[in-house]
Amino acid sequence: MQEPVFPQPVPESMGSAVPAAQDPDQETMARLRRGGQAALASEFLRHQHRLRRMIEVRLDRRLAGQINPSEILEEAFLEAVSRLDQYLVQPPMPLFLWLRYLTGERILAAHRRLLGQEAEGSVGQTQPGEPSARPKADSASLSIHLAAQLCRTARTPPGQELSARLEQILAQLEPSEREILALRHFEQLTNQEAAEELGISPATASHRYIQALEKLAALLKTLPGFSKGILEL
């Protein structure tokens, strides 16, 4: 799969939908102020693997085969370039979380464009201080990734029956539990990053993640050959 080539659009306002978070890394900000778009391109490439993972986890599975993740990555980069000047005036969050925010916007735009009214339920629940542009982590999408993880451990090919069973199991979790699992386990954010994205304290994020893991592990015990070790990062 060929990686996108990022062109050079004109800066514009970032808008006011992104909430404030902890101070971003000052060294990164200094590089962006010195290097402009070239420095942003370098930072974007550094985070590209995790941004792609976000797309794989949160893109509605009905759109599989219709959208290349590279297209969304390119759109997100173009948005980042166009909003960079405004972002640097007063960075509302660390760069990686800002790039995730923009990537989430592009995923939701794809949902609206291709799913129409059916896309209305694809936005995650919003808490005070939490970004509203993050597509929700639903049980259908997460079941596919969990099935692949289970099958890698058991060295067996994934099947529709397993995915359907896992979807039922994941649907028994609270939305907040699926969200923290998506962030920490499937998208591999650090606890600090997950806490900032959710607008909660690191201690609360850690506690929520442990509880969600334990609940999921208990539900998965109904599956033959389940090993709790597959849920460890």
Percent of the chain with pLDDT over 90: 53
Average pLDDT across the chain, whole number = 81
Residues in the chain: 233
On the question of pLDDT at 10 being above 90, the answer is no
CB contact set of 171 (below 8 Å; sequence gap of 6+): 139
CATH architecture of 139-231: Orthogonal Bundle (1.10)
User: Do the two domains 26-120 and 139-231 of this chain adopt the same fold?
Assistant: no
Percent of the chain with pLDDT over 70: 75
Q: Which residue has the tokens 């219709």?
A: 66
Predicted pLDDT of residue 175: 93
At 176, which helix (H) or strand (E)?
helix 175-181
Nearest to 95 by CA among 47, 33, 136: 47
Q: How confident is the model at residue 26 (pLDDT cuts 50, 70, 90)?
A: confident
Domain locations in the chain? 26-120, 139-231
In the predicted model, what is the mean pLDDT of residues 198-208? Answer: 96
Predicted pLDDT of residue 65: 78
Cβ contact 216:169 at 8 Å: yes
Predicted pLDDT of residue 39: 96
Predicted pLDDT of residue 24: 56
pLDDT tens digits for range 133-165: 678 888 888 988 888 877 776 555 556 788 888
pTM, entire model: 0.79
The CATH fold assigned to 26-120 is: Rna Polymerase Sigma Factor; Chain: A (1.10.1740)
Predicted pLDDT of residue 140: 87
Please tell me which residue, 10 or 22, carries the higher pLDDT value: 22
* Structure token pair of residue 173: 């979790």
204/126 Cα distance (integer angstroms): 17
On the question of pLDDT at 226 being above 80, the answer is no
In the predicted model, what is the mean pLDDT of residues 24-40? Answer: 90
On the question of pLDDT at 176 being above 90, the answer is yes
74/58 Cα distance (integer angstroms): 17
Predicted pLDDT of residue 149: 79
In the predicted model, what is the mean pLDDT of residues 195-200? Answer: 93
In the predicted model, what is the mean pLDDT of residues 60-71? Answer: 85
